[in-house]
Structures are given as structure tokens and as C-alpha cells.
């Protein structure tokens, strides 16, 4: 039985669109790659790009400035005066403060609302839709991305906040936290790049100055370069402390061994 345009047993009711028209009506234009990507319910951002980027970078800059000022102050902890951190250590504290914000707030939002971002108009959803122009796996709620970002948000985020407090108060666990966080960040980011490489960089416009080089390459390369440096720094600090502990325990161990032989 054929479907016609007139009335009768073989006609499609005029009050309903044909199946082909109904299907085409769901194909909303979007800026993501690959270009034949189908996003059900996609709603374009109603905020301009400059506004989204300005809010993000200005907020990040304000957080870094406040952390830098706090880390340069001397403070008293349990009756002991804690000296101000040196400039390099202050930069590390600023990094962990930034990580706590990005991981917990921004990536935490994605972890919770990844299924709704494509149609949601909250600011953080629009931020993710803008970033997805460089990596559409985010608007697709790709399984690897969701799992990786969930671990990042709820493990590395709180630990980064803990690290900030540990360094400001000169807590003994500070370099262990630095080691664990940096190793986890480095591992996740290496997998992030490698999975997209194996997919042939199909989820973004390869070579685009903003979407590929800034969003995809530069912003994520930060979590390769900085954690690598902090990982080596934590390794050096922990090895030094262990060497000093071994050296201090050496004479005591020899004395105990001598007493045992007597």
C-alpha cells in the first residue's frame, strides 16, 4: 500500500508530517564534529563565546590571585609560627587551588549532568557545549569521558583542596598528596589524548586555532606538563626525607644490634 498525499485508505493524514519530514525535523544544525553527528534535543548556546570565556578565565584568575596572597602570609598553627612559602611552592599551591575548582565545580557538573548538557542552558552546561567544539565526546556523553571525569571530579578534586590546606599549614602529608594527585592527573590526561588519537581526532576540527589548539591541546596539555613537574618534585622531596630518616636511624640500629649481641 503506498502512502499518498490525498485522502483515502493509502494516504498519509495531512495533519501529521510524513516520516521523512519528522526525521529531518530532528536534525538540528550544530557546530560539532563529525559533521554528520546526530544530537537529539540539542539547544544552541544563547551566550556569546566571549562572555563564556571571560567569566571562566576571570574567575580562574581571581582564584589564583587570592590563593597567591594567602600562601605568602605567615600563620600560627597550634601555637607554632608557620613560615610563608617560597615562590615556587606558592605557585604549586595556586595550581592545586585551580585544580580543586576545575575538578570539583566544572568537571563535577559534567559528571552529574552529562546526559542533559546538550539541551541545558545553565552557564556551566553552556561552558561544556562551547568546549565540546574541540571535543564532541562531551556532548555525546562518551563512556570513557564520563568515567574519567567522574573520577577526576570526586577523587582528584577533593584531594586537591586537601593539598592546598596541607601546604598552607605545612602538614606532613603534603608531598604524598602532591605525588598521588599528580600521578592520577597525568594518567587520566594521557588516556584522554590517546583515546582521541586512536579515534583519528574525529571529534573536533583538526588544526582549528581556537577549538583544537586552545581548547583541546593547550588546556589539556597543562595537566600533562604541570603534574609531571610536580610528580618529580614530590619524588625528590620524599626520597630526601626517607634518606634523612634512614641516616638518623642508622646509629640507633647499630646500637641496638650491639646491645643484642652482648
At 29, the pLDDT band (50, 70, 90 cuts) reads confident
Residue 35 domain-assigned? no
259 found inside a domain: no
The confidence band for 71, taking pLDDT boundaries of 50, 70 and 90, is confident
pLDDT interval class at 232 (50, 70, 90): very high
Give 5 or 47, the one with higher predicted confidence.
Answer: 47
Q: Count the domains in the chain.
A: 1
pLDDT tier for residue 36 given thresholds of 50, 70 and 90:
confident
Any domain includes 120: yes
Q: Is the pTM of this model over 0.75?
A: yes
Residue by residue, what is the 3-state secondary structure of the chain?
A: CCCECCCCCCECCCCCCCHHHHHHHCCCCCCCCCCCCCCCCCCCCCCCHHHHHHHHHHHHHHHHHHHHHHHCCCEEECCEEECCCCHHHHHHHHHHHHHHHHHHHHHHHHHHHCCCCCCCCCHHHHHHHHHCCCCCCCCCCCHHHHHHHHHHHHHHHHHHHHHHHHHHCCCCCHHHHHHHHHHHHHHHHHHHHHHHHHCCCCCCCCCCHHHHHHHHHHHHHHHHHHHHHHHHHHHHHHHHHHHHHHHHHHHHHHHHHHHHHC
11 lies in some domain? no
| Mean per-residue pLDDT over the chain, rounded | 86
Which residues constitute the domain of residue 142?
A: 45-244
Highest mean pLDDT among 38-52, 155-169, 247-261 belongs to: 155-169
Amino acid at each position: 500500500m503506498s502512502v499518498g498525499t490525498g485522502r483515502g485508505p493509502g494516504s498519509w493524514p495531512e495533519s501529521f508530517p510524513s516520516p521523512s519530514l519528522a526525521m529531518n525535523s530532528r536534525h538540528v544544525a550544530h557546530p560539532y564534529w563529525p559533521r554528520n553527528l546526530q544530537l537529539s534535543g540539542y539547544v544552541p548556546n544563547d551566550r556569546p563565546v566571549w562572555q563564556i570565556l571571560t567569566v571562566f578565565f576571570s574567575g580562574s584568575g581571581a582564584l589564583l590571585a587570592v590563593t597567591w596572597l594567602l600562601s605568602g602570609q605567615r600563620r600560627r598553627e597550634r601555637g607554632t609560627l608557620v613560615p610563608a612559602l617560597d615562590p615556587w611552592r606558592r605557585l604549586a599551591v595556586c595550581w592545586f587551588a585551580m585544580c580543586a575548582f576545575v575538578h570539583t565545580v566544572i568537571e563535577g557538573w559534567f559528571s552529574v549532568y552529562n546526559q542533559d548538557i546538550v539541551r541545558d542552558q545553565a552557564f556551566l552546561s553552556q561552558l561544556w557545549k562551547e568546549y565540546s567544539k574541540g571535543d564532541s565526546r562531551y556532548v555525546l556523553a562518551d563512556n570513557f569521558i564520563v568515567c574519567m571525569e567522574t573520577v577526576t571530579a570526586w577523587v582528584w578534586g577533593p584531594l586537591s583542596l586537601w593539598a592546598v590546606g596541607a601546604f598552607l599549614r605545612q602538614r606532613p602529608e603534603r608531598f604524598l598528596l602532591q605525588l598521588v594527585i599528580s600521578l592520577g592527573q597525568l594518567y587520566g590526561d594521557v588516556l584522554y589524548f590517546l583515546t582521541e588519537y586512536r579515534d583519528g581526532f574525529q571529534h573536533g576540527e583538526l588544526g582549528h586555532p581556537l577549538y583544537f589548539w586552545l581548547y583541546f591541546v593547550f588546556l589539556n596539555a597543562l595537566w600533562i606538563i604541570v603534574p609531571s613537574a610536580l610528580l618529580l618534585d614530590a619524588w625528590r622531596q620524599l626520597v630526601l626525607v626517607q634518606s634523612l630518616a634512614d641516616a638518623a636511624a642508622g646509629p640507633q640500629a647499630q646500637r641496638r644490634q650491639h646491645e643484642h649481641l652482648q
